[in-house]
Amino acid sequence: MAHTTSDRTIHEGRNLKRFREMLGIKQDHLAFELGDDWNQQKVSVLEQRERIDTDILEQVSAILKIPVEAIRNFDEVQAINNISCNFSGNAVNNNGVNIQHIDPIDKILKLHEEKIALYERMLKEKDEMMGRLERLIGK
């Protein structure tokens, strides 16, 4: 019997196929790694199964180097929802904090403007100090 998450059935075979494709592994290669009893057609049939036997799932997860739970519990709808809620444009929502992409050129220009403002403040303070010194000497 297939297990469900949020009123949706988890299809382990489809999840296996998605992870295999994301990793760029062909069915032929997975069949080769599983052993002599396996071929591309048998892997294709495996990926059509709603539920995969635990021992086969463990073998496949070891080959793909991903946890069994990832294949067993992956929910595409939740994954898409997570991505759409956490990524928008070039901003990433990281625990409620938006991190905007910062252009290095803009950052350099901002630092340059700050440096000029600091230099102008220093010149103004120097002029004020020179005026005070002239008044002190003049008295």
* 79-91 per-position pLDDT tens digit: 777 667 766 555 5
**∠43-46-49 over CA atoms, to 5°?**
160
Average pLDDT over residues 62-72: 90
**pTM score:** 0.55
Query: What does the pLDDT read at residue 1?
Result: 45
Q: Give me the phi and psi of 9, to 5 degrees please.
A: -80, 130
Residue 107 pLDDT > 70, yes or no?
A: yes
Residue 99 pLDDT > 50, yes or no?
A: yes
Per-residue exposure over 45-59, b if at least 16 CB sit within 10 Å of its own CB, e if not: ebbeeeebeeeebeb
Query: What does the pLDDT read at residue 75?
Result: 79
Average pLDDT taken over every residue of the chain:
83
Q: Give me the phi and psi of 65, to 5 degrees please.
A: 60, 45
